Amino acid sequence: MSGVLVVIPARGGSKGVPGKNVAPVGGVPLVARAVRAALDAGVGDVAVSTDDDAIAGVAEAAGAIVVRRPEELAGDAASSESALLHALEAHAVRAGKAVEVLVMVQCTSPFVTASEIAGCVAAVRAGADSAFTAAPSHGFLWRRDSSGAAVGVNHDPSGRPRRQDREPEFLETGAVYAMRADGFRAAGHRFFGRTVLVPTDPARVLEIDEPDDLERARLLAPMLDAALAKPGRDDLDAVVLDFDGTQTDDAVWVASDGAEQVRVHRGDGLGIAALRRAGIPVLILSTETNPVVRARARKLGVPVLHGVDDKATVLRDWCADQGVDPARVLYAGNDVNDLGCLALVGWPVAVASAHPVVRSAARLVTSVPGGHGAVREITSWILGKDLHP
């Protein structure tokens, strides 16, 4: 079966978390994360079904086809199946070719992987009518009876077997569903015929329904995203670095005459030199007016823009002047005045000592604090074995 369509439903009217589908996790909007995973799976066309202009813009920028969902399919009562059927028919008309395997990916599952999407498609290609991602569980479930007493659901409380003696049960993750398109049209729902499950990592299972879910996802993103990918030389056209708290430990020594001194890490200087040898432009961008920033930039041989109030605007203008796509820029920072820059670039990075709000906005977080070799660590991600001449 060669005709595969991945549909990502993403309406604009979320009540629990307003603007949910474009909310950033790991520095990337949720809908863009889903598009990226689907494109990386390489199974077929990727479409986002939406009624919202902001979501459509993010989806297109991420590389998806946008299917405009009619108003009657965008309300709270509209089912996912209705959006899938509309997208399926709209794409068939637009593309002029039959869809044989239909896939639904939920952007409210921020840690969905390309392998999970490909695995569900492979299950249908292997003969299943429908497939979905599920996480294994050995948990003991309980419910309350009419009197309020606890009653075991999947176990006998009087003689529970050991974990190793129990067959796992599986929790539907809500992330990926794949199905034969003709069977879906006939059945009108995503489970029909022979349904199989595709096991996934329980540690990556999270559905965003409430604001607290979004905050948990942002805290988990640096760890879970880092397990998948770090930027390589081919992913970047420039590296932009904050100074205080990123290249320093954020401490300042003040002399009696008011002169200030800061502590830097020699390894960071070696890393920046390696980036320059590799032909990657490096810029230091700082709000500080202290001459020490300019002196450090001169020592490193890189340009500096300091005494800057609106760092995001200055960075946007610098990218335009240099002809650099912000999506191919890595920005490393540590405090709230870096948030605008982190939202602008494709590779937002926080140092380990960054403010929690900054860490949650980052796509990756270094393992060491600012001023202790964080820039050297970032350089090792980019250059790998080519870090040293």
CATH code for the domain defined by 233-387 = 3.40.50.1000
C-alpha separations of 186 from 180, 182, 193 in Å: 10, 6, 11
Task: Give the whole-angstrom CA distance, residue 27 versus residue 29.
Answer: 7
pLDDT of residue 388: 58
Task: Give the whole-angstrom CA distance, residue 281 versus residue 321.
Answer: 13
Instruction: Give ranges for CATH 3.90.550.10 in the chain.
Output: 4-224
Q: For residue 208, which of 6, 23, 12 has the smallest C-alpha distance?
A: 23
Task: Tell me the three state secondary structure of residue 367.
Answer: coil
Instruction: Give ranges for CATH 3.40.50.1000 in the chain.
Output: 233-387
List, for residues 90-102, the tens digit of each pLDDT value. 888 887 778 899 9
pLDDT of residue 42: 84
Q: How many Cα neighbours within 13 Å face the side chain of 337?
A: 16
C-alpha separations of 360 from 26, 277, 374 in Å: 7, 32, 17
Q: Quick count: other Cβ atoms within 10 Å of Cβ 166? A: 13
CATH code for the domain defined by 4-224 = 3.90.550.10
- Rg, the chain, Cα only: 25
- Sheet of 304-305: strand order equals 304-305, 282-285, 238-241, 329-333, 347-350, 364-365
Q: For residue 114, which of 39, 59, 11 has the smallest C-alpha distance?
A: 39
pLDDT of residue 27: 83
Q: How many Cα neighbours within 13 Å face the side chain of 388?
A: 2
**Orientation angle between helical segments 374-383 and 266-277, nearest 10 degrees:** 30
Helix (H) or strand (E) holding 103: strand 101-105
Q: Where are the alpha helices (DSSP H) in the chain?
A: 30-41, 53-62, 80-95, 114-125, 181-187, 211-226, 266-277, 291-300, 311-322, 339-344, 356-361, 374-383
pLDDT, averaged in runs of 10, over the chain (389 residues): 85 80 90 92 91 93 91 78 90 82 95 90 92 92 95 90 84 95 93 93 91 92 76 92 92 78 89 94 89 90 91 94 93 93 90 82 83 93 74
Instruction: For 138-223, list the strands marked E by DSSP.
Output: 142-144, 150-152, 169-180, 195-199
**Amino acid occupying residue 52:** D
pLDDT of residue 228: 61
Could you say which DSSP state residue 278 is in? T
**Amino acid occupying residue 53:** D
